[in-house]
Amino acid sequence: MELQKRQDQGLPQRKGQKRKLEEEIKDEQPGISPSPVASSDARRAILSEVAVQVSILDSAFSWQEADRAAAKRATHVLADLAKNDEVVNVIVEGGAVPALVKHLQSPPITEVDGSVRPFEHEVEKGSAFALGLLAVKPEHQQLIVDHGALPHLVDLLKRHTEGTTRAVTSVVRRAADAITNLAHENSNIKTLVRREGGIPPLVELLEFADTKVQRAAAGALRTLAFKNDENKNQIVECSALPTLILMLRSEDAAIHYEAVGVIGNLVHSSPNIKKEVLAAGAIQPVIGLLSSCCSESQREAALLLGQFAATDSDCKVHIVQRGAVGPLIEMLQSSDVQLREMSAFALGRVAQDPHNQAGIAHNGGLIPLLKLLDSKNGSLQHNAAFALYGLADNEDNVSDFIRVGGVQKLQDGEFIVQATKDCVAKTLKRLEEKIQGRVLKHLLYIMRVAEKIVQRRVALALAHLCAPDDQRLIFVDNGGLELLLGLLGSANMKQQLDGAIALYKLANKAMTLSPVDAAPPSPTPQVYLGEQYVNNATLSDVTFLVEGRRFYAHRICLLASSDAFRAMFDGGYREKDARDIEIPNIRWEVFELMMRFIYTGSVNVALDVAQDLLRAADQYLLEALKRLCEYTIAQDISLDNVASMYELSESFHAFSLRHTCILFILEHFDKLSAKPRKLFIFRSYVLIYICVYAGFFAMDSSATSPKYERRPFSIKLWPPSDNTRQMLVARVAGNLSSQSIFAQKYGTLGKEEAEENAKRIEAVAFKAASQQYDNEPDGDGGSAVQLYAKECSKLILDVLKRGPVPKEDMEDLPSEEGDPGPKDSVEVITPPPETFFDISKGSRSFIEAEETEEILKPLKKPGNSYSKICFSNRSFSLEAARVAAPVLESIKDQLKEVDLSDFIAGRPEDEALEVMTVFSTALEGSILRSLNLSDNALGEKGVRAFEALLKSQSCLEELYLMNNGISEEAARAVCELIPSTETLKVLRFHNNMTGDEGALAIAQVLKRCPLLEDFQCSSTRVGAEGGAALAEALESCTKLKTLDLRDNMFGTEAAVALAKAIPKFPSLSEIYLCYLNLEDEGATVIADALKDSAPSLEVFDMMGNDITIEAVPSIAACIASKQNLKKLNLDENELKDEGAVQIAKALETGHSQLKRVDVNTNAIGRAGARVFAKVVLQKPEFELLNINANFISDEGIDELKEAFEKCPEKLGPLDENDPDGVGDAEESDEEDDGDDDRELDSKLKHLEVNEEDE
């Protein structure tokens, strides 16, 4: 598959951008995108403000200090506005572009100005910054360039030669960023940048002292190199490669990410540059980036290594030798889809070398690659398939491939694109070609000594992939057939199906001509009289009376046709000398066809007479005619009649028809599984028949000879070997003890009882079959085998229908002399009683019937004490659920807590609903305290599938319905199906699709929950109406301690209703109200309500509500009153410095239990950060201050780090702060910093927070 096109550098999202929920507004003017400001008073206000700033810029182009200061402020105002994407169009419309472009250059120097240059570089920096923000929208890029921005920006890049002051550093960085934004996905502008001479200074900036400048320059080069060969060549010609490769080794993730991005874009589709990059020593540092803390760098490095390895064979080897395999394999298991895709891509390319193939498998790459085949991402799936195709080329990997189930994974996979399907087919073909010589010997060794599950995987794989000449060696001599039969006899439907498919494949290989493939030729008769003598009285010497009519025949022809007629005319029968012989049991039409075949050697067998003709042919031992009849009957075999066809083949010794029935059963095993009783009987037939007929897979070529001699097998069929008999006993025991329709009705036999019955059944059947064989000593044992299978099947059904019986009553079963008695009893050591049964540990996995039987054994032990079960993280099939149901029903009276979260993942909807219904029915009537049905994508159908269980609960204290996709209808179903909620204390309803109408239904549930202590209804798409209904209903929940309503769309109306309810919760300790669109009005009413209630509040969360300084006094007063507060979260609001200081002051007195404060993304500057640090460091229990993504200057960050020097773990990351952001205090240069901080401190010094007495 073609390599996915490399994407250009994504523009970073605006730091500190607030989260808004705005209504859509019609766009008034063409060319302006719809936005909240497009048709409002705000839009007019912004246009007016832009006009003022443009006017200032137009009139203040000189070196006079007042003009420079005014121009600097104007660029900052425009940049601040441009940070909001919604108003960018308005700014451009207001004519800001030409004014900003004008100020990218310094004003002309006059004699009056002299040598004084106030705010040197500052105005240009602000203009570049603002233009870069405007260029984020593609429609404005060309406009900015048309106004002449590029030459000025390139000149700004060259100012790096004027020193390393902060002003120079900032202007150079902003110029590089502006070029990046202008050239983003714009090939024309990329070319213009080169023509304006922008590339050489950018390359020089890679070695600039300031790391932010290095990063910005690399980002610009990365954009310019993308899909532009001329730019790539010039970058290389400017000697950028050595510096870029040094940057790859940087410990700064931002720098090595940009560097590897530039190199990746240079290398893409440029083989000559790739050679230069390799020659410059890029391989090792790129491999080092596979272990970077930055996932983007890891992804780019993996992609680059794949490109390196794609065409250069030596490079493939070098990449592996230098240590890339381990990190790449680790990346295969990442949660990041792109990381997995790129690592699979790289491994697929290096796996084209034989030694690398072995190394990748040896280092554990096989299993992760196989798991990726389950991905729903087509590109990821294909890259994994291509890598596996490479690994399959090495003989040393074939055994491991098969050992871990790789063949089954390839065969069962659902592949999205045709290229992947083709690749998988080629991989299977490649594996098939390798299975010979030492590989086959190793696989046979594994099949003998490995764990049972591995042995079965090998047998399954070999059934599909081995050569026909090796079948006897594998499946007869080395026990492969027994393993496949074990699968067929399993209680696990998937294993049964796998076994059936493998046996079908095996049988098709063995039989070079199947009766269903071609009609058998008619044999040449020993005496051929011809058509004219059929029922002809001429020379007739015997007459048959059929249905009262005469049929004339000739003894000489009949004597030569079969042993039956020879016995009739030459033996001691009364027909020997009779002239007229009566035929009482054959219809005229059938008899005529039989005689026509005897006289001519051929006959057309119609389907409507084929069965009667087969019966007649068997009666008169006309083998060739039987084969013709079997062929005709075989064409009509179907799911509905295969049972009767099989019985027919047994009744009339029709070997070919029997073979065809067996093959049909194996081929259509999945469809027969819908008919459990028939499937069980068929499985018994197949198991016993194939178990004895091992020769079925070792047929002699004579079986397909034109003469159709009766010798279908190359070995004698009776008696079976001791190993075969033991294998049959094991299979019978498995049938007796497995779950089936009989077990559900009559009970399941224990293992010991099943084994004892199996021995007795086999002994009785063996004796009967041996007697049959003794009566036909010249036969090949076929009829004995038939009786053996039939007797075993009959006795199995008898035992199953009888059900379990006490051991002393087992003597009633027919037995054989010498049949071994029961084994000595073994003392069973019972483990100490446990109360919690948990199968959720480890990674999520599918669970089938056989595994369920094994896993749930502890629950079946008499007297167990389990009161709590957790089936989470295991996806139950319907068969597994049916196995689990009787177990759960047997212990439901002792259960108190049931966790069924995430227990149907990945199942089709119909199956999932049936599974839920089975579990619900099994647990109906239990008296539970806690029930968890989360993570099951219930919807209304799923909720109603649990109707029996939910309706039967009267003492439930905890109910979890999280992440279930519960819609409005499903919420109503919940309300309907939980009749008793008086005891409910915990109701968790997170991450559903309830909406307002569904919230009304949940509100009805709340009104019936007087004891509720913990309520969560977060991320459920509830708006104002639903929020108000929930708030009103909560007024009756006076015991409430935890309230979580986060991430809905309440707005002010619902906030007012909630404020009314809050005083009813005196015990409230945690409240989560983030992302509710409260804004200042809603936040104020809730804070006012909380201030006078909930004295024990420990957690207060109002993140992401667009709270500004207007609401801060109320919030601060509320916080000041909560002396037990432990966690405060006000992330993603607009507190700014003034609000931050008020909040910090509210925490200053008391609050000795405070542990954590989150105020990320609040436009806080240096002053606000300083006050927060001072306050929280005084708290003895404090653990973490998060104040990232604000407008704190570099000096302010240094101050914070110094304040937390003795406890750095208490200060969160600060890497996303924007020192150029505009806060309450302008932080443009060092001199201004101090003045502004002092001014703000002066304003806030006497600020007090009013706290009313309780």
Question: So what's the pLDDT on residue 806?
Answer: 64
Question: So what's the pLDDT on residue 134?
Answer: 95
Residues 1023 and 996 sit within 8 Å (Cβ to Cβ): yes
Least confident piece of the model among 189-198, 503-512, 978-987: 503-512
pLDDT at 70 over 90: yes
Which CATH number belongs to the domain containing residue 418 in this structure?
A: 1.25.10.10
Q: How many CA atoms lie within 13 A of 508 on its CB side?
A: 15
Confidence of residue 354 (pLDDT cuts 50, 70, 90): very high
Answer yes or no: is 372 within a domain.
yes
Query: Within its chain, how far is the Cα of 145 from the centroid?
Result: 46
Least confident piece of the model among 383-392, 693-702, 878-887, 1042-1051: 693-702
**Domain match, 736 and 808 both:** yes
Work out the number of other CB atoms within 10 angstroms of the CB of residue 433. 14
Give the position of tokens 């992760």.
368
**Domain match, 412 and 349 both:** yes
pLDDT per position as a tens digit, 813-872: 444 444 433 333 333 333 345 688 988 876 667 888 888 888 898 898 888 889 999 999
Question: So what's the pLDDT on residue 21?
Answer: 26
Residues 129 and 104 sit within 8 Å (Cβ to Cβ): no
For range 613-634, the mean pLDDT? 91
Q: Which ranges of 778-877 would DSSP assign to H, the alpha helix?
A: 782-802, 849-855, 857-860
Confidence of residue 967 (pLDDT cuts 50, 70, 90): confident
Question: So what's the pLDDT on residue 611?
Answer: 93
Question: So what's the pLDDT on residue 408?
Answer: 93
Confidence of residue 740 (pLDDT cuts 50, 70, 90): low
pLDDT per position as a tens digit, 850-861: 888 888 988 988
For range 557-565, the mean pLDDT? 81
pLDDT at 395 over 90: yes
Confidence of residue 704 (pLDDT cuts 50, 70, 90): very low
Question: So what's the pLDDT on residue 689?
Answer: 55
Question: So what's the pLDDT on residue 850?
Answer: 84
CA dist 338 and 362 (Å) reads: 24
**Domain match, 435 and 322 both:** yes
Confidence of residue 519 (pLDDT cuts 50, 70, 90): low
Which CATH number belongs to the domain containing residue 565 in this structure?
A: 3.30.710.10
Question: So what's the pLDDT on residue 1225?
Answer: 39
Strands 868-870, 1042-1044: pairing is unpaired
| Boundaries of domain holding 728 | 723-812
**Domain match, 434 and 559 both:** no
Question: So what's the pLDDT on residue 520?
Answer: 55
Q: Which ranges of 892-957 would DSSP assign to H, the alpha helix?
A: 909-923, 939-945, 947-951
Answer yes or no: is 226 within a domain.
no
pLDDT per position as a tens digit, 1191-1229: 998 888 989 999 999 999 999 998 878 776 644 433 444
Confidence of residue 686 (pLDDT cuts 50, 70, 90): low
CA dist 53 and 46 (Å) reads: 11
Which CATH number belongs to the domain containing residue 1187 in this structure?
A: 3.80.10.10
Of 581, 616, 636, the position where a domain reaches its end is: 636
CA dist 325 and 287 (Å) reads: 9
**Domain match, 461 and 312 both:** yes
Sequence-ordered list of residues with C-beta below 8 angstroms from that of 790, at least 6 positions apart, any chain: 650
Of 636, 668, 693, the position where a domain reaches its end is: 636
CA dist 103 and 98 (Å) reads: 9
Nearest CA to 516 out of 346, 394, 635 is that of 635
| Tokens describing residue 94 | 């207001």
Strands 549-553, 542-546: pairing is antiparallel
Question: So what's the pLDDT on residue 827?
Answer: 32
Q: From residue 838, give the alpha-carbon distance in Å to each of 830, 834, 903, 932, 1239.
A: 19, 11, 13, 14, 62
For range 207-235, the mean pLDDT? 95
Burial of 1254 (0-12, 13-18, 19+ CB in 10 A): exposed
Taking each helix axis from N to C terminus, what angle separates 642-651 and 623-634, rounded to the nearest 10 degrees?
A: 170
Q: For residue 1044, what are the β-bridge partners?
A: 1016, 1072
**Domain match, 443 and 571 both:** no
Where would I find the beta strands (DSSP E) of 794-918?
A: 836-838, 845-847, 868-870, 874-876, 897-899
Answer yes or no: is 369 within a domain.
yes
Least confident piece of the model among 35-49, 638-652, 942-956, 987-1001: 35-49
Answer yes or no: is 1090 within a domain.
no
**Domain match, 1166 and 1236 both:** yes
pLDDT per position as a tens digit, 888-925: 999 998 999 999 998 888 788 888 899 999 999 999 98
pLDDT at 1244 over 50: no
Question: So what's the pLDDT on residue 701?
Answer: 34
Residues 458 and 402 sit within 8 Å (Cβ to Cβ): yes
**Domain match, 318 and 425 both:** yes
For range 1031-1053, the mean pLDDT? 93
CA dist 307 and 325 (Å) reads: 15
- DSSP 8-state secondary structure symbol assigned to residue 684: H
Question: So what's the pLDDT on residue 744?
Answer: 61
pLDDT at 1132 over 70: yes
Pick the more confident residue, 1096 or 489: 1096
Question: So what's the pLDDT on residue 649?
Answer: 84
pLDDT at 1168 over 60: yes
Question: So what's the pLDDT on residue 662?
Answer: 82
Confidence of residue 527 (pLDDT cuts 50, 70, 90): low
Question: So what's the pLDDT on residue 802?
Answer: 76
| Tokens describing residue 982 | 């008086």
pLDDT per position as a tens digit, 654-672: 888 888 888 888 888 777 7
Question: So what's the pLDDT on residue 511?
Answer: 64
pLDDT per position as a tens digit, 236-248: 999 999 999 999 9
The percent of residues above 70 in pLDDT, for the chain, comes to 83
Classify 1159 as helix, strand or coil: coil
Confidence of residue 747 (pLDDT cuts 50, 70, 90): confident
Of 636, 664, 699, the position where a domain reaches its end is: 636
Confidence of residue 699 (pLDDT cuts 50, 70, 90): very low
Query: Average pLDDT, whole number, for the chain?
Result: 83
Nearest CA to 3 out of 255, 302, 306 is that of 306
- DSSP 8-state secondary structure symbol assigned to residue 1205: T
pLDDT at 722 over 90: no
pLDDT per position as a tens digit, 579-591: 788 888 899 999 9
The percent of residues above 90 in pLDDT, for the chain, comes to 54
pLDDT at 386 over 90: yes
Answer yes or no: is 174 within a domain.
no
Q: For residue 959, what are the β-bridge partners?
A: 931, 987
Question: So what's the pLDDT on residue 126?
Answer: 95
**Domain match, 348 and 434 both:** yes
Domain count across the chain:
4
pLDDT at 681 over 90: no
pLDDT at 1102 over 90: yes
Least confident piece of the model among 161-165, 507-511, 624-628, 926-930: 507-511
Confidence of residue 1155 (pLDDT cuts 50, 70, 90): very high
Answer yes or no: is 782 within a domain.
yes
Strands 836-838, 1099-1101: pairing is unpaired
**Domain match, 1132 and 1253 both:** yes
pLDDT at 29 over 70: no
Classify the C-alpha dihedral 11-12-13-15 as positive or negative. Answer: negative
pLDDT at 1171 over 50: yes
Residues 896 and 930 sit within 8 Å (Cβ to Cβ): yes
CA dist 870 and 190 (Å) reads: 59
Answer yes or no: is 893 within a domain.
no
**Domain match, 384 and 533 both:** no
Question: So what's the pLDDT on residue 675?
Answer: 59
Least confident piece of the model among 156-165, 319-328, 335-344, 824-833: 824-833
CA dist 1070 and 791 (Å) reads: 71
Work out the number of other CB atoms within 10 angstroms of the CB of residue 490. 22
Asked if the bond preceding 719 is cis, omega within 30° of 0, the reply is yes
**Domain match, 624 and 731 both:** no
For range 506-525, the mean pLDDT? 55
For range 1016-1039, the mean pLDDT? 92
Q: How many CA atoms lie within 13 A of 370 on its CB side?
A: 22
Answer yes or no: is 843 within a domain.
no
For range 216-221, the mean pLDDT? 96
pLDDT at 1232 over 70: no
For range 1218-1243, the mean pLDDT? 47
Question: So what's the pLDDT on residue 684?
Answer: 54
Burial of 1246 (0-12, 13-18, 19+ CB in 10 A): exposed
pLDDT at 1156 over 80: yes
